[in-house]
Structure 1
Amino acid sequence: MENVFNQYSYVVISLIVLLVSIVLLQRYGVNRRWIAGAAIGLIGISTAGQFLLRPGSSDIDSVPAAQAALENGKPTFMEFFSNYCAGCLALRPAVDLLVSDIQDNYNVLRIDIHSDFGRELRQNLKFTYTPEFVLFDRSGQEVWRAHSLPPREEVYALAPEILASQIDKPQS
């Protein structure tokens, strides 16, 4: 049950807010037209938020492509996400920042667990719930897994050239 709630937390939270708002407005004797208008407004805001904030689609589209990335001699950062997961939405800016730092030295695989490919890959890799982040070393062996971003030390240890390139960058 926790897995289902987590993957669809944005939808569940939106429905709870809508229902609580309707009950409170009715309890305070607000006119039904105002309640209907408020409900429509909340549905619109929730829907717009979903489309504006969602992480997006997977970077790759097949298990063989994921396997090829794990075997190409570069370390791999893998993110399992759901477009309906509040935690995924909250972590997105931090994930984007990390990806911008490592994308030249890492394979970056962002996997939507609701895609056909994502469902297959999450079974193969023993996925638990979103967001889930996994680091693989250069030989494709899993070295770290958690539901929060990996510590930068772990990331830099797998690709020391990232740290060197950070030092070489001119300060702005």
Structure 2
Amino acid sequence: MSEVVNANRIRNTLIAVAAITLSIAIFFGFQTQTGSVSLESQAKDSTPIEVAIANGKPTLTEFYADWCTSCQAMAPELAQLKQKYGDSVNFVMFNVDNNKWLPEILRYRVDGIPHFVFIDDQGKEIAQAIGEQPSSVMQANLEALIDHQTLPYAASTGETSDLKSPNNPISDPRSHSSQAKSG
């Protein structure tokens, strides 16, 4: 009978040790997710869109969700970029799960996250990028945004104009007129 009691004690001790170990692992796991670089803390510290559009600085907007693993993976890098460029660029964040931002979600046609919109210092949208971006790509885009240059790694948006070349006398390229031969 004492062997059964000893076996039960050993089993119970092992179960208790396993439970304590799992509790500690879960505790530390939650600590890493809620660090100082969390999406929530960055969103709280972001510039309100009304201020960003009016203050004469270019703006990087990020549409994100707390459950988005790409958004979470980029959070530390974006925090570093904000620390480096925060004096020159507004950083604005919109949580797509908050209906408050539905007008912005529709305006910028957000259909994937993370979704970045680059806005010039006049408040005009100039480019967008969707998906997880390497820090070097975001840095290059921010530097171009600050310098009023074409963003190297983002899809340009905005107005386009008709091409009118002064060197081409043909008004309709599909017309095979004699002008093209005599030119």
Q: TM-score range by the shorter chain?
A: 0.5 to 0.7
Tell me the amino acid that sits aligned with residue 144 of structure 1: Q
Where relative contact order (Cα < 8 A, 6+ residues apart) is larger, the structure is 1
Asked if 1:111 is matched to 2:98, the reply is no
1:141-164 C-alpha deviation (Å, 9 max, x unpaired): 222323225443321122139xxx
| Within-5 A mapping of 1:2-81 | 50-52=33-35, 54-55=38-39, 56=41, 57-59=43-45, 65-81=48-64
Q: Secondary structure of the equivalent of 2:140?
A: helix
Overall identity of the aligned pairs, in %? 20
Q: Which moved more, 1:40-49 or 1:139-148?
A: 40-49
Structure 1 or 2: more helix by fraction: 1
1:117-141 C-alpha deviation (Å, 9 max, x unpaired): 2333212221122212221112222
Q: Secondary structure of the equivalent of 2:111?
A: coil
**Change in 2 beyond 3 A, CA 1:80/1:58:** farther
> Could you tell me which of 114, 122, 125 is aligned with 1:141?
125
Asked if 1:86 is matched to 2:73, the reply is no
Whether the aligned pair in 1 keeps the contact of 2:57 and 2:88 (CA below 8 Å) is yes
**Once the 2 structures are TM-superposed, how far is the Cα of residue 94 of structure 1 from its aligned partner?**
0.8
Give the total of aligned pairs: 129
Q: Secondary structure of the equivalent of 1:70?
A: helix
When the two chains are superposed, the root-mean-square deviation of aligned CA atoms in Å is 3.3
Whether the aligned pair in 1 keeps the contact of 2:58 and 2:121 (CA below 8 Å) is yes
**Change in 2 beyond 3 A, CA 1:114/1:49:** farther
Report the counterpart of residue 155 of structure 1 in structure 2. 142
> Could you tell me which of 132, 147, 152 is aligned with 2:115?
132
Query: For the pair shown, which has the larger CA radius of gyration, 1 or 2?
Result: 2
**Change in 2 beyond 3 A, CA 1:154/1:48:** closer
**Change in 2 beyond 3 A, CA 1:47/1:157:** closer
1:66-125 C-alpha deviation (Å, 9 max, x unpaired): 245224322111111211111111111111111111111111102222223233321222
Output the TM-score relative to the length of structure 1. Answer: 0.56
**Once the 2 structures are TM-superposed, how far is the Cα of residue 48 of structure 1 from its aligned partner?**
5.2
Whether the aligned pair in 2 keeps the contact of 1:60 and 1:111 (CA below 8 Å) is no
Q: Secondary structure of the equivalent of 1:156?
A: helix
List runs of 5+ in structure 1 lacking aligned partners.
Answer: 1-31, 162-172
**Change in 2 beyond 3 A, CA 1:46/1:120:** farther
List runs of 5+ in structure 2 lacking aligned partners.
Answer: 1-14, 149-183
